[in-house]
Amino acid sequence: KLLYHLEKEEKMPDGMCIDVEGKLWVACIDGGRIIRIDPETGKRIQTVKMPTPRITSCCFGGKDYSEMYVTSAYDGLDESTLAKEPHAGEIFKITGLGVKGIPQNFYAA
């Protein structure tokens, strides 16, 4: 079942995570954003624009899982593009989203 069809400016989906409300957060590689999708309605309900386009993954963390950590890539970018995208390859922390993530599950080996 198709959950959501990305808009042209969102480019391609990459890493994802779920919040406590059951909403899906998707890193949009080459789209420079994280989007929040309601899986019940299939609608995008939030967009967080990032300072670099190659956004690769997202996860919640911090003491109470209220911080989102976002990774980005710089591989495949030539020197002139890297000069225009100085934040490529960095890790970002986003606060103030108004929602928390779910603690990870630990499994015994």
Task: Give domain status of residue 90, yes or no.
Answer: yes
- Number of domains, the chain: 1
Task: Give domain status of residue 104, yes or no.
Answer: no
DSSP of 69-92: EEEE--TT--HHHHHH-TTTT-EE
Task: Give domain status of residue 7, yes or no.
Answer: no
The reply to whether 64 sits in an annotated binding site is: no
CB atoms within 10 A of CB 33: 19
Catalytic residue among 14, 64, 75, 78: 14
Note the pLDDT tens digit of each residue in 6-18: 999 999 999 999 9
Residue-range definition of the domain harbouring residue 71: 12-95
Task: Give domain status of residue 107, yes or no.
Answer: no
With contact defined as beta carbons under 8 Å apart, do 66 and 43 qualify?
no
Note the pLDDT tens digit of each residue in 26-69: 999 999 999 999 999 999 999 999 999 999 999 999 999 999 99
Task: Give domain status of residue 21, yes or no.
Answer: yes
With contact defined as beta carbons under 8 Å apart, do 97 and 20 qualify?
no
Is 78 a residue of the active site?
A: no
